[in-house]
Structure 1
Amino acid sequence: MPKKNIRNFEELTDDWRLLLAADIVVFGVIKSKLHVLLVKRKFEPGAGDWAIPGGFVRADESLEQAALRELKEETGFQKEGYLEQLYTFGELKRDPRARVVATAYMVLVSEPEKIKIKASDDAAAVDWFPINSLPVLAFGSAHKDILLYAWQRLKWKFEYTNVAMTMLPKQFTLSELQKLYEAVLAEKLDKRNFRKKILSLDLVEVLDEVKKELGRPAQLYKAKNKELQIFSRIV
């Protein structure tokens, strides 16, 4: 028997209801490896498992506001740096509690090891994990799918935009820039070709300073522009 037309919200049944969530993937590079910020869940479902920071959207806030609020509540970290909405995940049975649709965001940070993080709210712990060495994640494959999607989006951004500049300190060497690209893309790059391409695109500005390293001091640079720019191809 076909369902009757719904004329007002009061007539909605459970078949029509869903909850809206906002999750936020935070990427940073630590010791030349791409890391993601995760929280250990304090309560069921998935108590003791790790998860992407996030939670349900309140009636009086936007998706972005909800994602940033949950990030601050669960990790103590207040967003700084590049923020992008990724995708809305709506597959069935993502959450055992209810029908949940989640919109995911991505934040890119520089020098994550210097960011103060502290678990609070419904998070029992918070920590950085290498993207290729993740712990057991809550919610089955739902959060893993979000992480893999976010990583792929980040790779695309590195190939065609200057978004890498948002993950660097104010001053950096070309070797540090190359290591950042290699960490995100998960591949080795030819040193000569990489430097030639970066300099030809006018992405960086040389400084009157050097960084003392083993061997010869390395020239320091800064980003010419951290506003998002699109190129035909960087790497």
Structure 2
Amino acid sequence: MPTHSSDEHIEYQNPWFRVMRKGAFHYVHEPGAHAGAAVLPLVGDTVWFLEMRRPAQQGVATWEIPRGYGEAHETSQQCALRELREETGLAAEPAQLTWLGKMRPNTAILTSCIDIYLAELPVDSQTHMRDQEAERIVKIPLERLPLQLAQGKLEDSFTLAALSFYWAVLR
């Protein structure tokens, strides 16, 4: 945990984050983000997204990639594998993951810096039980992703970062 100077104060905290005040500014520290990860699932030539309705978005459905906080004993790679399985039902091996880069979701108010991975899985990958955090899985062929972006279907910062890294680093 980072040390805080004498002019920093905890305004609110829960098991997932702390709202800190430093002078006139507030920011959010997420202790679990140290090994957090987001993963772009590519099954054959199709990207799998989660359709989510998050309270902060007042019920608007968004298409997002799996992501989450790391657990105390995990690396970000282990977190990516766990989140992928929990949220999509897809089981991947470490050799199927490629680290794409890091992203800071909102530098003005969040301290988190998250690793972004690509999971490349064969088209015949079997799925397992998944949690019910997502309403459904949305499968979009790679060649249709630019259209989805142009139509505003993809807005989530983790998803946009993962796609940017994918196209810049691997294509």
| Normalised TM-score (structure 1) | 0.50
Shift of 1:92: 2.4
SS in 1 for 2:61: coil
Whether the 8 Å CA contact 1:39–1:119 is kept in 2: the answer is no
Of residues 82, 89, 113, the one that matches 1:101 is 113
Of residues 123, 134, 145, the one that matches 2:161 is 145
CA shift in 2, pair 1:85/1:120, >3 Å = same
Whether the 8 Å CA contact 2:49–2:64 is kept in 1: the answer is yes
CA shift in 2, pair 1:103/1:115, >3 Å = same
Alpha-carbon displacement from aligned partner over 1:81-100 (angstroms, at most 9, x marks no partner): 52122211015259x8x554
Of residues 101, 104, 107, the one that matches 1:87 is 101
Structure having the higher Rg:
1
Whether the 8 Å CA contact 2:85–2:130 is kept in 1: the answer is no
Alpha-carbon displacement from aligned partner over 1:172-222 (angstroms, at most 9, x marks no partner): xxxxxxxxxxxxxxxxxxxxxxxxxxxxxxxxxxxxxxxxxxxxxxxxxxx
Q: 2: distance between equivalents of 1:28 and 1:75?
A: 11
Unaligned runs of 5+ residues in structure 1 are: 156-235
In the alignment, what sits opposite 1:27? 42
Q: 2: distance between equivalents of 1:93 and 1:142?
A: 13
Q: 2: distance between equivalents of 1:59 and 1:119?
A: 22
Shift of 1:58: 2.5
Q: 2: distance between equivalents of 1:137 and 1:108?
A: 20
Q: 1: distance between equivalents of 2:155 and 2:127?
A: 24
Shift of 1:12: 6.1
Shift of 1:118: 6.0
Whether the 8 Å CA contact 1:119–1:126 is kept in 2: the answer is no
In the alignment, what sits opposite 1:36? 47
Whether the 8 Å CA contact 1:35–1:129 is kept in 2: the answer is yes
Shift of 1:35: 1.9
Q: 1: distance between equivalents of 2:73 and 2:118?
A: 22
Whether the 8 Å CA contact 1:24–1:71 is kept in 2: the answer is yes
In the alignment, what sits opposite 1:111? 123
In the alignment, what sits opposite 2:88? 75
Q: 1: distance between equivalents of 2:9 and 2:102?
A: 23
In the alignment, what sits opposite 2:15? none
Shift of 1:7: 7.0
SS in 2 for 1:64: helix
Higher share of residues assigned strand: 2
CA shift in 2, pair 1:104/1:12, >3 Å = farther
Unaligned runs of 5+ residues in structure 2 are: 11-19, 22-26
Point out 4+ residue stretches in structure 1 off by more than 4 angstroms.
none
